[in-house]
Amino acid sequence: MIGFYNWSVVMTYIGLFSSVFGITMIFEGHEAVAFICLLVSGVCDMFDGKIARAMKNRTPDEKLFGIQIDSLCDLVCFGVFPAVIGYHYGFNHGLGLISAYMIVQGAVIRLGYFNVTEEERQRVCSEPRKKYQGLPVTTVAMFLPLLFLGRHEVPEEAFPYVFQSVMILISILFILNVNVRKFSVKTIVLMFIMAALLLLGYIKVRHGFK
């Protein structure tokens, strides 16, 4: 088989599978399960880089493959998947279509730019990044589930507008030329655990696995 297969890309593929499964859950009407899948994809993306850096025996081709495959999967997980959620959860025309397009387009631009700069950076430096330009696409996996949890705090007729507006804002932040400090692993793990617990608690109390 073509390609490279190691633990770092396996983790990336697990995240991809979670997002594809989440997309099917949106089509089936299981919104809460879909948001859990988005969280799982975010956790996988957080750890695949750590695993890759721990593997000291990777060849240059394996490193380049890892950069490309990570971004391609991120486009599906944090670009296409949120677009499907937004399109389904908001309006199926107008603002919903605009927000769906913008979050995918923003992710494409950001990930393409990241690939170029990261490939060049790794030629001269092996240290992990301490900051990013623009908002990392993985943050979608935190913001949107928390927004879903808080939907009952917003009038039902207004929530679609709020959801679509947040997606448009995120898509702009993806490509905004500002420095964003990289979260510590402990902070990211804590945020994902809190979001997962809140989401699971909400499902158990309100809907089960509707």
Element (H, E) at 199: helix 185-202
**What is residue 180's three-state secondary structure?**
strand
Please report whether residue 149 resides in a domain.
yes
Is residue 203's pLDDT more than 70?
Answer: no
Judge contact between 82 and 88, C-beta under 8 A: no
> In the prediction, which pLDDT does 96 show?
81
In-domain check, residue 194: yes
Cα separation values, 147 from 27, 54, 144, 185, 207, Å: 20, 34, 5, 22, 17
Its pTM stands at 0.85
Q: What is the pLDDT of residue 134?
A: 83
Average confidence score pLDDT of the chain: 82
User: For residue 1, is it within any domain?
Assistant: no
Q: What pLDDT, on a 0 to 100 scale, did the predictor assign at position 107? A: 95
CA-closest candidate to residue 45, choices 23, 24, 84, 19: 19
Residues 29, 189: Cα–Cα separation, whole Å = 28
Residue 189 has which token pair?
């793990």
pLDDT in tens, 120-174: 666 666 666 667 788 899 989 988 988 888 888 888 888 888 888 999 999 999 9
Residue 71 to residue 15: CA distance in whole angstroms? 12
Question: Domain for residue 2, yes or no?
Answer: no
Nearest to 13 by CA among 104, 77, 80: 77
Least confident of 13-22, 63-72, 102-111, 188-197: 188-197
**Lowest-confidence range among 12-21, 32-41, 70-79?**
32-41
Q: What is the pLDDT of residue 16?
A: 95
Q: Is residue 161 in some structural domain? A: yes
Task: Give the chain's length.
Answer: 210
Q: What is the pLDDT of residue 210?
A: 47
Within-domain flag for 167: yes
Question: pLDDT tens, 45-74?
Answer: 887 777 767 677 777 777 778 888 889 999
For residue 165, the SS3 value is helix
> Which residue segment(s) compose the domain that 181 sits in?
7-207
- Give how many domains the chain has, as a whole number: 1
Secondary structure (DSSP) of 15-53 = HHHHHHHHHHHHHHT-HHHHHHHHHHHHHHHHHHHHHHH
The 10s digit of each residue's pLDDT in 78-107 is 999 999 998 887 666 678 888 999 999 999
Confirm if 159 and 151 have CB atoms less than 8 A apart. yes
pLDDT at 174: 93
Q: Is 132 helix (H, G, I), strand (E, B) or coil?
A: strand
